[in-house]
């Protein structure tokens, strides 16, 4: 079983066309044609895993008006305001993004999380998707609780990496890693610093996504650099979520980490070739 816990984000897309500039300012007027909603953040991780297996739960916080977009709300807690990102597109061109959000902080989710632990078996995978919106206000407390219950923890971080000690897999991107460990001019430099961070944070595996440079995996006794599979990049929205979701799914299927990384890399390449968040399918992984 895979359990996703973290910041759920609503991605709204407003699409239209532009035929003239505004007389008020030199900006395009977008004649709105359609709106649609996608699930972002932790919900995007969940949606991608759910496309591959039914053995997945989502823990998070949502506004009442958005509950209809979730197929299972049993582990979702109501909040008065959740993060909403509105992207405005004109003739398929990205015009602007409007962020409408407040910091979420609701202890009911943690209470529910603790209550549900009575049904956990050992070695479930818990994917913590932290976008620093407030759902994972105290990651160390959640991680300690999961470790006590002998669960496997994967973290996609947003805070400084020292908030996520003693996890099975920590998956920062290059920017997040270098904000903690310092900048490196090449892959070898990142790899050397990664071994230091691995020991310092007492984690088993460090997986650093490097955008066009692929992904770097470092464990206690080995490391591996896997080049990117992307042939064309149209939109990077949610690509990290897709990568993390497929990584978690592969590991839940008892694949090795290196094999899982290759498959996750392939999935991320597919995601960036699409507009907006893209839910991966079994067919995409063949």
In a domain, 196, yes or no: no
> Which residues form the domain of 263?
2-8+39-81+103-156+229-285
**Residue 170 structure tokens:** 């920590």
Q: pLDDT tens string for the chain (286 positions)?
A: 999 999 999 999 999 999 999 999 999 999 999 999 999 999 999 999 999 999 999 999 999 999 999 998 999 999 999 999 999 999 888 899 999 998 988 778 888 878 888 778 888 999 999 999 999 988 998 999 999 999 999 999 999 999 999 999 999 999 999 999 999 989 999 999 999 999 999 999 999 999 888 899 999 889 999 987 655 555 566 788 999 999 999 999 999 999 999 999 888 888 877 766 788 888 888 8
Count Cβ atoms below 10 Å from residue 246 Cβ, excluding itself.
28
In a domain, 274, yes or no: yes
Q: Is the dihedral of CA 145, 140, 49, 254 positive or negative?
A: negative
Work out how many domains the chain is built from and give that number.
1
Q: How far apart are CA 242 and CA 42, in angstroms?
A: 10
* pTM, full prediction: 0.92
**Residue 233 belongs to a domain with what CATH number?**
3.40.1190.20
In a domain, 17, yes or no: no
In a domain, 204, yes or no: no
In a domain, 121, yes or no: yes
In a domain, 91, yes or no: no
Closest CA to 3 of 154, 135, 107: 154
Q: How far apart are CA 128 and CA 42, in angstroms?
A: 8
Catalytic residues: 241
In a domain, 259, yes or no: yes
In a domain, 126, yes or no: yes
């Amino acid at each position: 079983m895979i359990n996703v816990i973290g910041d759920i984000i609503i991605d709204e897309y407003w699409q239209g066309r532009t035929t003239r500039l505004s007389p008020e300012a030199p900006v395009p007027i977008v004649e709105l044609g359609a709106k649609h909603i996608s699930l972002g953040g932790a919900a995007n991780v969940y949606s991608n895993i759910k496309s591959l297996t039914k053995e997945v739960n989502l823990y998070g916080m949502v506004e009442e008006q958005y509950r209809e977009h979730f197929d299972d709300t049993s582990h979702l807690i109501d909040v008065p305001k959740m993060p909403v990102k509105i992207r405005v597109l004109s003739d398929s061109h990205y015009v602007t993004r409007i962020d409408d959000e407040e910091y979420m902080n609701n202890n009911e989710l943690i209470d529910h999380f603790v209550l549900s632990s009575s049904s956990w078996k050992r070695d479930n995978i818990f994917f913590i998707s932290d976008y620093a919106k407030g759902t994972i206000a105290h990651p160390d407390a959640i991680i300690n609780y999961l470790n006590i219950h002998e669960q496997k923890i994967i973290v996609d971080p947003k805070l400084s990496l020292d908030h996520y000690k003693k996890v099975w897999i920590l998956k920062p991107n290059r920017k997040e890693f270098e904000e903690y460990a310092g900048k490196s001019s090449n892959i070898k430099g990142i790899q050397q610093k990664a071994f230091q961070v691995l020991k310092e944070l007492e984690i088993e595996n460090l997986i650093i996504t490097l955008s066009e440079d692929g992904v770097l995996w470092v464990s206690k006794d080995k490391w591996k650099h896997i080049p990117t599979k992307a042939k064309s990049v149209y939109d990077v929205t949610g690509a990290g979520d897709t990568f993390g979701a497929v990584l978690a799914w592969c590991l839940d299927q008892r694949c090795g980490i290196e094999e899982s990384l290759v498959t996750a890399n392939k999935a991320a390449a597919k995601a960036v070739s699409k507009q907006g968040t893209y839910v991966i399918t079994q067919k995409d992984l063949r």
